[in-house]
Amino acid sequence: MNQSQSSQSNVLTPGTLVDEKIVLYYLSLSLTYLIIAMLAGLLYSLQFIHMYPFEGIEIFSPGRWRFVHTQGVAYGFISNAFLGALQWVVPRLTGHPVASRKLSWFILIAWQVIVLATVVGVLTGEAQALEWGETPVWIDPVALLGLLLVAYNFLTPIVKVKGPMYVTLWYFIAAFVWTPMVYAMGNFLPEYFIGGSAAGAIGGLFIHDLVGLFVTPIGWGLMYYFVPIALKKPIWSHGLSLVGFWGLAFFYPLNGIHHFLYSPIPMFLQYGAIISTIAVELVVTTVIINFFGTLRGRGDALRTNMPVRWFYIGMVFYFTTCLQCAFHTTLMFQRIIHFTDWVVGHAHLVMYGVFGFWINGVMTYLFPRLLRTNGWYKPSWNSWHFWLSGIGMLVMFFDLMSAGLIQGFIWKALAPWSDSITASMPFWKIRTVSGTAIIIGQLFFVANVIMTWRKAGELAPKSSPYDPTPSNQSQEQYT
Amino acid sequence: MKTPPSSRSKRYTVLGLAFLLLAPGAYGFTEKLVQFVRTLNTDNEAGFTIIPISNYFLIAGGMACMLFWAMSNGMFRDIEKPKYTMLQREAELDGGALTEEELYDA
């Protein structure tokens, strides 16, 4: 820390740096969208087991509710949670507030309008024909403008940092630059400029770049911030964390075409995507080693500290999903699993098992601090949240992976299509049950947030509200 | 704040991992990229190739510029320091302050 930063940090307080109310609103909205998106997913899953309650009603068409599920998770749950967490992390890491508080509130409201307009748009049949980009075309320019405003708001304090930057800020810079580019590429090029297989290639890049160049850098940036703070211990090697960051930057951008193996896209492009996917797996290994090196000597935190538990189980799932990715992008695996439920299981593990779990950990850490309470209304409800989500997620993952293998082998044997439907039915029923378990777990958390909020006065700490572990409670009780 | 020296074993581990994990990936990736670029002049599939390569160069090219800028501005000097200053700032913001011993012993 240079001298000017040091003297500045002496006069800064969390209240002048962070607009805590906006963080609270973002996280609350994120939870609301998550519940809606999960219920939409549950509704969609009922169609597979012949229990869909709204058959024949156009606005309840299962295909449209699938979009509500995916868009609700990506733009309602994850984006709101990330924006809230960024409002907390960026000012505290840089020592400078965001560019404008008024702009922050404008972005908060504008983003909700965009998400709600997307839901209305897809339910009324206006969805754009782009996977993960089903946002109606008339919303795309507004969403892009919103992303540029987000970048301006958060890059302003980051560029004021003098001297070597912490790895989290590198990840955030990359995300703020990449995300508008990826959004523009995916939503505008196939829609207005490029057709045929080339548009398919762009679609593939968009799907994967949205995960790898928006969700991944912000997710890892948050982990590099929250894990050392929760463990009260610096990251094992800052140098290795930068190896991971620059590796992601150079290897990730060509991954996307692996979504279209065995498609009309030229094979040399498909091979390139396979190579870069395996390269990314090697990069991910460095990141995982770094975090488990940090945990060394503090393993008891997995038992006593709920946010740490969410963070590390998410990392185990992240490694699993990347390892799975490195294998299933090979042509040998693709012969079996292409178009099967294996891919659906993989997507759920990434979006909820990894990023959803990390967000759960961030929320578990932040809500008591934002509500100025000494802990949670019922810490045991957070345990229910963790175990129901964890077990539900594992069951869903293995269930869909198994279903995918069975479907793939049945199709490869050229058996009648109906055979694969009959064989899949038990797996689809288990998927619905495991999804229900995850939703119940999430409802425990929502109920705990509401009750903690309502009882905030009774749960207020006697010591400083900014003291991360008030003296009269152990870390376990607090989290 | 003075950063404590990294242990020799940690430095070798980081360098070893950086080389062992990234070198094969970099080799395979670069080879494929060269193949893509050559295809632009030799193959009627060039139309398919231009978009992903442009996309890659746009993103990776920008990152390369940022890497060189960071290197020339001393962003990687005393590379372990930011992980200590980050924790210290957090402790200050939360109303406490960590001593250097607390930081380094963690």
CA distance B20 to A252: 18
pLDDT at A415: 95
| The pLDDT of residue A385 is above 70 | yes
* pLDDT tier at A10, thresholds 50, 70, 90: very low
- Comparing A13 with A200, the larger pLDDT belongs to A200
Does residue A273 sit in helix, strand or coil?
helix
Domain boundaries, chain B: 1-55
- Does residue A11 surpass a pLDDT of 90? no
User: Which residue, among A224, A280, A219, has the nearest Cα to A247 in the 3D structure?
Assistant: A280
Is the CB of B40 inside 8 Å of chain A's CB atoms?
no
Q: Which DSSP string corresponds to A348-373?
A: HIIIIIIIIHHHHHHHHHHHHHHTT-
Task: List the single residue in A17, A228, A269 with the smallest CB-CB distance to B49.
Answer: A269
Nearest in space to A90 (alpha carbons), one of A77, A99, A78, A79: A99
The widest CA-to-CA distance across chain A, in whole angstroms, is: 73
Query: How many residues comprise chain A?
Result: 479
**pLDDT tens-digit profile of B20-69?**
767 776 777 677 677 767 766 665 556 666 766 777 777 778 888 888 88
pLDDT of A325: 84
Domain ranges for chain A, please list them. 15-163, 169-284, 299-304+316-479
Q: What local confidence, expressed as pLDDT, does residue A479 receive?
A: 45
Give CA–CA dist A386/A382, Å, rounded: 6
Q: Is B86 on the interface with A (CB under 8 A)?
A: yes
Q: How many CB atoms lie within 10 A of CB B9?
A: 8
Closest by Cα among A254, A257, A171 to A214: A171
Based on the number of CB atoms within 10 Å of its own CB, is A94 exposed (0-12), middle (13-18) or buried (19 or more)?
buried
- Statement: residue A133 has pLDDT above 90: no
Confidence check: pLDDT of A465 > 70: no
The whole-chain average pLDDT of chain A stands at 89
Give B4's contacts in chain A (Cβ within 8 Å): none
- Identify the burial level of A343 via C-beta atoms within 10 angstroms of its C-beta, where 0-12 means exposed, 13-18 middle and 19 or more buried: middle
Q: Cβ distance B39 to A268 under 8 Å?
A: yes
Query: Quick one: pLDDT at residue B48?
Result: 64
CB distance from B38 to chain A under 8 Å? no
Residue with the two structure tokens 């045991």? A380
Nearest residue, CB atoms, A269 vs list B48, B63, B93: B48
pTM of the predicted protein model: 0.88
* Structure tokens that stand for B101 in this block: 């011993």
For the stretch A39-92, pLDDT in tens is: 999 999 999 999 999 999 999 999 999 999 999 999 999 999 999 999 999 999
With cut-offs at 50, 70 and 90, classify the pLDDT of residue A468. very low
Dist CA A79 CA A111 (whole Å)? 9
Angle in degrees, CA A102, A108, A112, rounded to 5: 150
- Helix, strand or coil, per DSSP, at residue A99: coil
> Which numeric CATH code is attached to A299-304+316-479?
1.20.210.10
Residue of B nearest to A243 (CA): B18
Q: A350 near A396, Cβ under 8 Å?
A: no
Better-scored residue on pLDDT, A390 or B98: A390
Largest Cα–Cα distance of chain B, in whole Å? 66
Out of A178-182, A301-305, B73-77, give the one with best mean pLDDT.
A301-305
* pLDDT of A340 over the 80 cut: yes
Cα separation, A307 vs A348, whole angstroms: 21
User: Residue A477: its pLDDT value, please?
Assistant: 42
Q: pLDDT at position A355, please?
A: 97
Distance (Å) from the alpha carbon of B39 to chain A's nearest alpha carbon: 9
Which of residues A425 and A212 earns the better pLDDT score? A425
Contact A73, A8 (CB under 8 A): no
Q: Which of A97, A238, A236 shows the shortest CA–CA distance to A170? A: A238
Rounded average pLDDT over A343-354: 95
Any chain A CB within 8 A of the CB of B83? yes
Asked if the Cβ–Cβ distance from A178 to B66 is below 8 Å, we say no
Where do we find the tokens 């609301």? A32
Residue A467 has pLDDT above 60, yes or no: no
Which tens digit of pLDDT belongs to each residue from A261-295? 887 777 777 887 888 888 888 888 889 999 999 99
B67 CB neighbours in chain A (<8 A) are: 246, 249
Q: A371 phi and psi, to 5 degrees?
A: -90, 0
Q: A194 — contact with chain B (CB < 8 Å)?
A: yes
pLDDT at residue A171, rounded to an integer: 94
Predicted confidence (pLDDT) at residue B101 exceeds the cutoff of 70: no
pLDDT surpassing 90 at residue A14 = no
Tokens, residue A212? 């790898």
pLDDT over 60 (residue A104): yes
Cα–Cα distance measured from residue A294 to residue A102, given in angstroms and rounded to the nearest whole number: 38
